[in-house]
Amino acid sequence: MTDLAHTTSIGVGNKLQLFNPRRLAVALLLMILALAPGQLGEVTRAMMIDAYVQVSVFVAATLLIFYGSERLFNYDIGTSLSRAKHWQVPIAALMGATPGCGGAVVVVSAYASGHVSFGAVVATLTATMGDAAFLLIATRPDAAAVVLPLSLAVGVTWGWIVDRFNTSEYRTGTQQSYNTTPVIGKTRLRDVAYLIPAAPALIVGVAQLVQTDLHNVMGIPVGVIGLAGTALGLAIWAMSPLVAMTSSQDTPVTRMAEETSFISVWVIGAYLAYEYVDVFAGLDLATLFNSVAPLLPLVGVLIGFIPGCGPQVLVTTLYINGLIPFSALVGNAIANDGDALFPAIALSPRAAVMATIWSAVPAVILAYAFYLLAPGFMS
């Protein structure tokens, strides 16, 4: 879902924006499934509503706060990182541990430009959980409170170890940067419109976290709010000219709408994949996964090698639904690089491969440490 395809046009600001036909086809398919009669439509609508109120609105709130503070205080973390010298590794790990992929992408670009060490790259890719972090925070904050600090600590430690013992240079040049993200420009009407259902849906999401069910907000049914927000998000995603990340030159509201919509599609896909298999395929997933339980931590690590956030969101969804152990989630969280692996491959392919290999070592060790020593932890 992260590829740029051939296009049809739609206006944005003073420029011609592009449709992605593949995204449009996916969005239309999802809406058709939601409108389907009988159990198929009911299950689809329920999962869309859950994905929106349980994850999307929290992602939107987090991104708005993060990008808003960045704009308000006018700081550029990328520039600060290049001046950090001995503090590059912990700062890079902290940027990676930040939910989403933006921080890790900045570190990867800084490495390609010759401003940070290879250990900083390993640190940020080890610490990052990508967009799956938003899903975990929203649905299992107790598990997130363990996984994210653990990934951060491992990233810092492993990054320092790499800088101490690695003597190879993997950069292909010193003048490259990853700055191909289109600038959208002014805040669009649909960016502001995205806030309208998000505000009441956030109230519903917070209420669910404290075990309170709200059936409507200001007289509007939760289902209507959730489906409206989902439909608007799908429209924004289908019309987006971006691959995944937004430009730092865009406004916080635009960045929030674009990135939340992108993440939401993956979350909806993961929710529906699990629920369809459970309801319609008649497979006992719990029994199936239990039959290969010793391999699940390794499977989590191997899936983490796949570029992008979609597979990682699916792993987190399986954990949330109790189908895989915490050890598999930990292995995946440490091994996965999210969308940051795409610019790493584009700018420094050898560095991307070697950083992934380096991060696999602590991922396997910790995954099986949890599996053998604390099998029921965070279950």
Task: Assign 5 a pLDDT band (cuts: 50, 70, 90).
Answer: very low
Residue 79 and residue 158 in contact, taking contact as beta carbons nearer than 8 Å: no
DSSP 272: H
Task: Assign 75 a pLDDT band (cuts: 50, 70, 90).
Answer: low
Q: Which tokens sit at 271?
A: 């929710």
What is the reported pTM? 0.75
Task: Assign 189 a pLDDT band (cuts: 50, 70, 90).
Answer: very high
Spatial distance between the Cα atoms of 199 and 195, rounded to a whole number of angstroms? 6
- Residue 178 confidence (pLDDT): 53
What average pLDDT is seen over the chain? 84
Residue 323 and residue 286 in contact, taking contact as beta carbons nearer than 8 Å: yes
Spatial distance between the Cα atoms of 252 and 259, rounded to a whole number of angstroms? 11
Task: Assign 6 a pLDDT band (cuts: 50, 70, 90).
Answer: very low
User: Letter for the amino acid at 213?
Assistant: D
- Residue 277 confidence (pLDDT): 84
Q: pLDDT at residue 77 above 70?
A: no
Terminal C-alpha separation, the chain: 31
Q: pLDDT at residue 13 above 50?
A: no
- Residue 122 confidence (pLDDT): 93
DSSP 277: I
Average pLDDT over residues 178-198: 85
Spatial distance between the Cα atoms of 274 and 270, rounded to a whole number of angstroms? 6
| pLDDT (tens digit per residue) in 354-366 | 988 999 999 999 9
Listed by start position, the domains of the chain span 9-373
Task: Assign 244 a pLDDT band (cuts: 50, 70, 90).
Answer: low
Percent of the chain clearing pLDDT 90 (strictly above)? 39
The partner residues of 38 in beta bridges, in order of sequence, read none
What separation in angstroms does the CA of 233 have from each of 7, 114, 236? Answer: 19, 37, 5
Least confident segment among 42-46, 171-175, 367-371: 171-175
15-18/216-217 β-pairing: unpaired
Spatial distance between the Cα atoms of 315 and 360, rounded to a whole number of angstroms? 17
